[in-house]
Structures are given as structure tokens and as C-alpha cells.
Amino acid sequence: MLDPETQKETVFDQMTAQTSISDNVLLFEEAYGMTKALLGGKGHGLVEMTHAGLPVPPGITITTKVCNQYYKNNQRFPVDLMPMVMEKMKAIEERTGKKFGKSLLVSVRSGAPLSMPGMMDTILNLGLNDEVLEYMIASTRNERFAYDAYRRFIQMYGKIVEHIEGKEFEDLIEKKKQERGIRQDVELTVDDLRDLVTVFKSLFTERTGKEFPSDPEDQLKSAIEAVLLSWNGKRAIEYRRFYKIDDSMGTAVSIVAMVFGNFGDSSGSGVGFTRNPSTGEKKLYSEFLVNAQGEDVVSGARTPLSIEEIHERFPDLYAQLLKIAERLEKHYFDMQDFEFTVEMGKLWMLQTRTGKRSAQAAVNIAMDFVKEELISREQAILRVEPSQLDQLLHKHIDPSAKFTPVVRGIAASPGAAIGKAVFDTNRAAELGKKGEKIILIRRETAPEDIHGMIASEGVLTQRGGKTCHAAVVARGMGKPAVVGAEQLLILDNQATTGSTIIREGDIITIDGGTGDVILGAVRLVDAEISRDLETFLSWADAIKTNGVWANADTPTMVANALKFGAEGFGLVRTERMFNAKERLPFVQRLILSDSTEERKNWLNKLGVFQTQDFYEIFIAANGRPVVIRLLDLPQHEFLHAPASPDLAEPIKKKLPSLKEDNPMLGHRGSRLGMTWPEIYEMQTQAIWNAKIRAEAEAVKVRAEIMLPLIVHVNEMSRLRAIIEKIAPNVPIGTMIETPRAALTAGEIAGSADFFSFGTNDLTQMTFGVSRDDAEGKFLVKYVEDKVLPYNPFETIDKEGVGRLMKLAVEEGRKANPRLEIGICGEAGGDPESIEFFVNEVGVNYTSCSPFRVPIARLASAHAALKGRSASKDKTYHSTL
């Protein structure tokens, strides 16, 4: 999610008819003071570091306004953009003492306002051609470096601008290494690289039908347009959809003078985090590749040096990184992810941004920043996205389990996962969409693998370090990842280590906390809330304004919900109680009964079970509110299979009379209570008896009774009268789950003590669709094609369903000012929906499944802070 400032700026005046190019092509020093929404995250970081005097190569940023104008104008390249870019290039030439088209090379980089690591495109070494190559060789006296830079440029340009399959270039490199009997790119000689330049150019011509471009200005124009187009590339769209990022933000483009990490053993490139992104430990976390460019580190093609090895081999570099990390944190008040290059011993900073981190790290870093008096508790709460907490509730390997790992890689993203081994990204995406649990196994991942990673339970790679693409993206998604398992040889859809072969479809377990890879399934156990997380959530509880309750049908579920911090129970369903094996014979005989007296006989037997059910739940709830929904399920649902042989024939005869064309809209809910009131009488009596029994044991009971599927005030008033005779002074309310109930809420509220919105059914009724059918047939396509902005069964439809809810609350509270409002559908655990429920609907509580309670607690605090606009991060200032 965007911080409020960036979200507000995203809308800005991008939609204006004209965008002034001169105001939107700026040198880094000219852009100081502009926001991330305009400069993009990468451009903003470069501008801030330049202003602070950190070692940043000179460069230009083209703002996101240009990107949005480009798409608004049907992807027509602005005619006045290149003249302005070339004018600014003169300033870069002056600062570097180099000439573009001769000795000055540049990188062209994307940069969205919100970090999207690896999802858009970057081109390095731009400006190279045969003539420039000869100049570089003469001026640097390093022929290998020059050819290495050239082959990289042709490869990136061909892949990004002309969409040549990247694997074709990689295969040519692999072929050359096999011919030479070498394993690493750095072992390629000048002659090898010269040959690769030749074959790369031939491949380019073969695939495009034209010669590789030699005019640096033409190269630059094509690269800028390729970056703009990458905003709507497949992987960027997939990533935005996964993280619910606004499509209208656009990307900025940064053009930066090249500094070279592939200049020899005194050069290299690296990535760092100011704190450990997996644990949050306050310790510099960095990796460095000697004689490499940045793409080598991120891709994971080579395993880099760790921070300890940097300290040992390059102590001066280590000391500089420590100082820069400290300055960045004091400036941004947050953990930073930075990229750097060392060119012939000189350090250059190429990027800084708020670092992606695991949920554990997010909580620990936020709490540490409060202890260090850098931010407030309110700011700390906003630093952790509610959805991240799902990671902390991931299962992990049972400590008592006995197993022998087949290989151990680098522990890159915490949690454990079990699934079928799949080696192809498209295959992974296909199987994942079908609901299969899979582990994606790759040599290394690239941005093109995003859809396969989204569909997977976890990721395993042969190559890479803790800052490689697979590690960063998996941590951001909260998926377990093991990288750099170099003992694995991945080839032809199988992975081999020693005598062990992992084939496609084999079940494996990976542990992203230890790096273990295990053949077969190992027992996993549920996570528990740590002391640190409970402290953090207690800060959230002190801020939130609404209650966070849980949906629970059994004492075990109640106990689990309490463990996660539930303050009450907004939905106790009774249908599952009727489906229990020892009760089903009574239920079936009840349905088969021909008279009220006969039904009451079977209901009395069921009442004994129900009383015990409610008593155990009241004991477990220990004085917290418990909202019990009376029976809602259609009768035929209990007759799928005879509970005993003697019932087979009677059920067969009865079923035709119970048949309904649309049972979910038929004889169910309160309609059942109206026609067979003795069912609700039995349930109410059981609630009352359980209440008396528990209170006799000095347990406070706060029972509430909820009537399902009320659509008319007469249903509400008549059923209330029945309940009140049995259970006086017990609050009675209804679940609002039909449009009519919402539209006539003012009438219904006169006979209700509370409303609880059943968001699942209300969404189905409002959209006129069956959730199961819609999600299985067309809803995914609707979201992909932007017919709908999101799945309305995951996040509440504010304009339709939400409007009904607001109307119901307004008219309900007008008729009954003491009316309590709750949410008991799945949307009660969705952070975006919670913000709407708290700030626009005005609920007293939300209720969700037990394991989503921590998420709802934090989301409720976010909603409260955003509702009062109380907490903004400290304004950036020049402490660098």
C-alpha cells in the first residue's frame, strides 16, 4: 500500500491535457524537493543522495507525468522529449568530462513510485557501438572490460527493446563456456567475449531483420520507450495485481552516467540493506561481486561475497558502507535497500529505497526504531502492512520431526512449504491456478518468473544469494525461499545432487529459515504469536477504535481465536453442530417427521447436544460476547447420505418434496424458523440452559442471538417474540445479507439490538452471482480485463455493496440509536475492507476467522490512524 502522500500525488495532474516536457526532464540537482510520485522511487533516492553529497553519478530523471502522457496519447513518443534529454546530457558531459557517443555511457532505469523490484526494465552500457568500443579499448587499455560491456549491452538491448528471448543469449554464453570447459562468466577471455559480441549481433539481426543500432541517440530513445512500455509489461501487471498497486501511477525513467564494476579485481557491484531484511537485526547486510555489474548480483548467476567476507577482504569498503547505511537510516527513518558499484576502488551509490522485508523483520525494525526514538508508536504501526502478518502465522517444520536434508542452500525467506516440484514457470502458474501446491525450482529466477512465483508455495534456486531476485521477491510476498543451493544441478526438468534426483511432480519440503531441502513431506506445525509480536499488536490495540472478534464454531476455535487476541465472537454457526456424526440420525428423523409433536421429540434429543455445545463455548469465551446464529442451512443439505440403513428408503421418498431449483434462495434461514418455529425454540432454550449452567459456575456469559436471512420486519418481530419468551434480556439481532434487508433497515432496526453484515451473501445477492460459480467461471477474467477492479468476495465492493451497508447503518441507527453494528463475513479480515468498515460504515466490531485476527487488529489500527489523519512520517530533512 502507498503512504498517503504518495497515493495523493499519484492522482496529481497526470490527467492534464498537456505535460510540459521542460518541467519533467530534470537533472538530479534540479529535482530536489519533488516527490516519489513524480520522480519514482529510484529517481527520488538518487536525487536525495545527490543533494546530500553522497557519491552518486550524475544523471537525469524523466518524471512519471511523461509516462502517463505517453499512455494517454496512445503510446506516441513525445516529439519534444529527446531534444530536452539531449540538452540535459550536455550537463552530464560537463560533469564527467566525457562525451556521449564516444566515452560516456549511460544506464536507463525504470522507477515506479512504489517499489516493484525487478518488474520493469533497465539497460546498462548504453551508447556503445563499434567505434566507441575501439575508443574504450584505447583509453582504458582493458580490452576484456570493453568487450564484456559491449556483449552485455547487446544482450540487454536485444532482450528489452526488441523482445528477443533472453534465454537465447544465455544459451550462447553457456555454449561458449562448455567449449572452454569453464563454469563462470568471469573466466571468459577477451577472445571469448569478442566471439560473443559477433554471435550476439548475428542473433539480433536474425531475430529483428536489421543491424544492431549504432547511433547512441537512437539507442537512448528506444531504451526510454522500452522502459515506459515495461510499465504495462506482463510481469509488472502481475506484480501490481498481487500487491493491489494502482495502475495509473506510471514509471519515471532515470538516465545515469555509467560507472563500471566489471573493470577488474579492484571493481565490483553490490547490494545492501541497512538491517537484516529477514530478521530485522540491526546489522549491515550486504553482498558484493568482484568484477561484476549490478545485474550479476541481482540475477543470482554468481554467488556473491557475504558482508563478513567484504569486511575481511575490503575493509575500507566495509567502513564506507557502514557510514552510508547509518546516514541513510537517519535520513529516511526506515531500513533502506541500496545498490552500489566500486569502479577501480571508488564507491558509487546507485540506488536507495525502503527495503522489502519479511514480516518478522518489519515488526522488529519498527519496534527498534521506536526504541531508538526515531519514530513514534503510531508511525511504527503504519510501517507494518497488516497483510504481512500472515507470514508470521505460516507453518514451520515440527522441531521433533526427524529428516535428512538432501541439500542445504541459503535461508532467504522464512517459513516452510510442501509441494510438488515444478521446474517451468508457466507450468507452475498453470498448476497453481488449479489449486495444486507446488514448489518452483529454477537455476535462478528472473522478473519473467513472477507469475510462477505468485502461484507457488515456495521457491528453490540453484544460484543466488540473500539479495538475489528470488530472495527479495519471495520475502516481499511472504513465501518461503531457499536460494544458492549450489550442490543441485538443475537440467531437463529435474534436479540432481549426488545420487538423489528430484523429478517434476515429486513432493519436497523447503525450510526458508534454515535452507534445508527435504525429499518428501515433513510434518509442519502452526506458528504462534511471539512475545515481540504480541507487544507490537498491543500498541495497535491501544490505537484502534473498533472491536476485533472472531468467527468460531467450536471451543477449540474459540481458544485459538483468544490466543490470537480476539475480543469476542461475532459468528458462531450452528449448522456444523447438526452435522456431527452422532447427531445426524436425529436431524434426519426430525426432517422426516410428519407432525409438530414428532419433530419436538427429536428436537428434545438434539437440545441436549446443543446445550452442551453452547456451554463449552461460553466456558471457553470466558465472559466475552458470543453471537450465536440460529440454524440457516437448507434441509436437503442434511440428507446427502442416510445416517443408518433404516433411513435410506424414507429419505428417498422425502427428497422429491424437499427439492428446490435454487436451495440457497429457498427454504432456509429465518424462513425455516417461521415455518418450523420449534427449531428456533429448541436452540434458544439450549442457549438459555447453557447460560444458566455456566453462570452457576461463576462464568460470565454474554450471549447474543442472531437471526439469519431476515428480509422483512415481520420476520424479525415475530421471531424475536418467540425468543424473548424463552431467553429474556438476551440481545437479539439479525445478519444483513440481502439488498432488501439493507434497504428496509430502518424498519427492521426497531426490532433488533444489532446488525451484523454477512458480506459473502450480501455480495452474492447484490451482484446476482454465485460465488463458487463466479470465481470458477468468469470472475478471474473480469479482474484481469479490469471489468472489475478486484474480486468483490475478497475486498468489499464499496460503490455497490458498501453503499447498501452505509444506507442500512444510517437508517438503522436513525430508528435505533443504540443499534450495534458488526461484520461477520470474510471481508472482516481484509485490511482494505476494514478501513472502509471503520471509517465509512462506522462499525462497532469486525469478526473474521481466528487466524486472521492479528491481521484485523493491525488493520483496525491503520484504519483509525488514517481516519483521523494523525500520523505522518517525519518530514525528510538534510541529515545525510
Active-site annotation, residues: 469, 824
On the CB side of 529, CA atoms within 13 Å amount to 21
- CA gyration radius, the chain: 31
CA distance 704 to 648: 38
CA-based torsion, 326, 327, 332, 337: positive or negative: negative
Nearest to 289 by CA among 262, 318, 311: 262
The secondary structure of 332-380 as a DSSP string is HSS-EEEEEEEETTEEEEEEEEEPP--HHHHHHHHHHHHHTTSS-HHHH
Adjacent-strand bridge partners of 497: 500
Cα distance between the two ends of the chain: 27
Nearest CA among 722, 736, 628 for reference residue 674? 722
- Compute φ and ψ for 436, nearest 5 degrees: -80, 145
Sequence-ordered list of residues with C-beta below 8 angstroms from that of 763, at least 6 positions apart, any chain: 771, 792, 793, 796, 797, 801, 825
CB count, 10 Å around CB of 227? 26
Q: What is the DSSP letter of 512?
A: T
Burial of residue 218, with CB atoms counted within 10 A of its CB: 0-12 exposed, 13-18 middle, 19 or more buried: exposed
Strand order in the sheet with 106-111: 25-27, 59-62, 252-257, 106-111, 122-126
| Four-point Cα dihedral 321, 322, 325, 326, nearest 10 | -150
Q: How far apart are CA 624 and CA 497, in angstroms?
A: 55
CA 601/CA 590 separation, integer angstroms: 8
Written as nine digits, the cell of 598 is: 414428532
The secondary structure of residue 617, as a DSSP letter, is: H
How many Å apart are CA 186 and CA 267, to the nearest integer? 13
Please check whether residue 34 is in contact with residue 113, taking contact to mean a CB–CB distance below 8 angstroms.
no
Half-sphere exposure of 727 (CA within 13 A, CB side): 25
Are 484 and 461 within 8 A, CB to CB? Answer: yes
Residue 25 near residue 214 (C-beta atoms within 8 A) = no
Taking the C-alpha atoms of residue 620 and residue 559, their distance in angstroms, rounded to an integer, is: 6
Query: Looking at 45-181, which runs of residues are DSSP E strands?
Result: 59-62, 106-111, 122-126
Residue pair 124/299 in contact (Cβ under 8 Å)? The answer is: no
Closest to 279 in 3D by CA, of 405, 114, 466: 466
- φ/ψ region of 819 (left if φ > 0, alpha if ψ in -120 to 50, else beta) reads beta
Strand pairing category for 524-525 and 820-823: unpaired
Query: CA 60 to CA 227: how far, in whole Å?
Result: 14
Single-letter amino acid code for the residue at 69 = Q
Distances from the Cα of 390 to the Cα of 100, 116, 411, 599, 823, angstroms? 50, 20, 19, 46, 20
| Backbone conformation region of residue 158, classed left if phi is above 0, alpha if psi is from -120 to 50, else beta | alpha
Distance between CA atoms of 90 and 436, rounded to whole angstroms?
A: 56
Helix (H, G, I), strand (E, B) or coil at 751: helix
Q: Which helix (H) or strand (E) holds 705?
A: strand 702-707
